[in-house]
Amino acid sequence: MSSLLVIKPDNYYGTNVLSALFEKIVINYDDTITAIATPPGRGAIGIIRVSGSKALAITDSIFTPLRAKKLSERKTHTLTFGKIKNAEMIIDEVLIGIMLGKSSFSGEDTVEIYCHGGSVLLQQILNLIVNKGARLAQPGEFTRRAFVNGKIDLTQAEAVADLINAPTELARRAAVSQLEGNLRKPLNEIREILINILADLEAEIDFPDDISDSSNKNQLLISQLNKIKNKTNLLLKNADTGRILHDGFQIVIAGKPNAGKSSLLNILASEERALVTDIPGTTRDTLEVDVNIEGFPVRFIDTAGLRTARGKVEKHGIARAKHMISASDMVIWISDISKKTPTAKPVLPDEINDNKKVIWVWNKCDLPAKQTKNFFQKINEIFPSVKISAITGSGINELHNLIAEKLHKKKILADDDVVLMRVRHINLLRKVLNLINCSLKSLKSNTMSELIVMDIRDSLNAVGEITGDFSTEDLLDKIFSDFCIGK
Ligand SMILES: Nc1nc2c(ncn2[C@@H]2O[C@H](COP(=O)(O)OP(=O)(O)OP(=O)(O)O)[C@@H](O)[C@H]2O)c(=O)[nH]1
Ligand SMILES: [Mg+2]
């Protein structure tokens, strides 16, 4: 699709200061869409959604209510029992909910058909609806319409997807907070201040003679810009935590062959996922397991033992392990405590470019330790370390705690805490912060107002891009393509 600018109908960039910023293009969302909203497979109930101006008429044409009233004669938010028919053939007995116009999720007439949850049956009803004139919905199109119809902003639309995809309770809480508008509110406040600043600066440029006390004016401007800076910093405060909640945290388990990497993965996964033998070089490929660590979605990755490769397959496995190490958020370096380390200092692969991302795990502590006191001390000075046995399970709780500590668990405090979860939001807000800092510098050095106006406009656009007040079709396509069909 081409890169068109989408302006929401209720957009209030109404001031003449800003009107020149946008070219208004109205996108046609007039057709009626439909989709199965429940997951594939068998279930007690299946749901089909229909949304658009012909939703009621189309559904009426295949539905016979138990009592006389047609759907189009019923009030909003009512349920009607009856039969879906193809000509005279009964397809299913169903309950139908209707939500009309602005009072529906999408902001337009919406019908939900609750039928029995069989895939053939659902497909049949869907086909009937399409034959009567509805179009199959794109992924996330119901939510996209809610956005276009001004029911929610883009942060809330994204929160819908994040809520559905939330891998842990903590991620769900963060998504609900965003859905409730806890990100939208501070962004709107920032936008209001930016609009006011822009209007003042434009007036100053257009009518320079009317400006009386310019030093006072500058002070006011600086204090407004600092206000934005504080609000933006507050939003960015939990960005690291948010990114982990959204994208997960990758921990690679690495070490020499036979150190017990796969055994540790199995104990963390609470099941026998990886093959364990006493032959060094058992693991060749990477193996991933997702675990919830105190609310954070953590992916543990078992890797091939690092040594001089013997053969082509092992060589590939080791290359893959090294790649995973460099791309990871954290490395558990696992070392066999029952074997004497051949070097006086710890030697780690070059791919671990930051000691801060390492937790040193001494494994096999059920066996006699063969390390010198000196070596233990050296490790403790450089890395957080823990002694475990992947056979008996001892020390695993301590390892859990060390990981949780690194995940900044304490940063999420209350339900309404704003946690930026998407890289898109984080990058745009960092851009706002940079631009505001530039404006503050410009003001202090008495740079021309025109240049400050440009920075403020760019900040306004960046905030608008987060909320969707300023967005392109390409951006919307990208965001909504991650949604499931029917949402
Ligand atoms: N005594 C004892 N043996 C262990 C422990 N952890 C693993 N082992 C044994 O060590 C051997 C190697 O374990 P793995 O988990 O396959 O080791 P690995 O690091 O994945 O080895 P590669 O895949 O070959 O690199 C197996 O015989 C395990 O049973 C432990 O805590 N104590
Ligand atoms: Mg292994």
Residues 218 and 249 grouped into a single domain: no
Query: What is the greatest pairwise CA distance in the chain?
Result: 88
How far apart are the CA of 332 and the centre of ligand 1, in A? 15
Same domain, 405 and 447: no
The protein residue with its alpha carbon nearest to ligand 1, atom 11, reads: 278
Residue 143 belongs to some domain of the structure: no
User: Which residue's CA is minimally distant from atom 27 of ligand 1?
Assistant: 278
Is position 58 within any domain? Answer: yes
Q: Does ligand 1 have an atom closer than 6 angstroms to the CB of 283?
A: yes
Strands 330-336 and 5-6, bridge-based pairing: unpaired
Return the residue whose CA atom lies nearest to atom 12 of ligand 1. 258
CATH number at residue 229: 1.20.120.430
Cβ–ligand 1 distance for 263 under 6 Å, the answer: yes
* Parent domain of 264: 244-411
Whether 400 and 458 map to the same domain: the answer is no
Are 374 and 443 within one domain? Answer: no
| Ligand 1 atom closest to 266 (CA) | 15
pLDDT tens-digit map of 160-191: 999 999 999 989 999 999 999 999 999 999 99
CA distance 421 to 244: 8
Choose the final residue of a domain: 371, 396, 411.
411
**DSSP annotation of 471:** E
Between the CA of 245 and the centroid of ligand 2 the distance, in Å, is 28
Give yes or no for residue 101 CB within 6 A of ligand 1.
no
**φ, ψ for residue 254, nearest 5 deg:** -130, 165
**Distance between Cα 263 and ligand 1 center (Å):** 6
Percent of the chain with pLDDT over 90: 70
CATH of the domain at 337: 3.40.50.300
User: CA-CA distances (angstroms) from residue 299 to 290, 292, 295, 353, 482?
Assistant: 4, 9, 13, 20, 21
Write down the pLDDT at residue 219: 87
Structural domain includes residue 74 = yes
Tell me, in angstroms, the distance from the centre of ligand 1 to residue 316's CA: 21
What pLDDT, on a 0 to 100 scale, did the predictor assign at position 210? 60
Asked if 259 and 371 sit in the same domain, the reply is: yes
Would you state the pLDDT for residue 371? 86
Looking at residue 225, its pLDDT comes to 95
**CATH value at residue 53:** 3.30.1360.120
Extract the residue ranges of the chain whose pLDDT is less than 70.
1-28, 208-215, 408-416
How far apart are the CA of 369 and the centre of ligand 1, in A? 15
What's the gap in Å between 264 CA and the centre of ligand 1?
A: 8
- Please check whether residues 253 and 395 belong to one and the same domain: yes
Tell whether 5 is covered by a domain: no
Atom of ligand 1 nearest to the CA of 302: 20
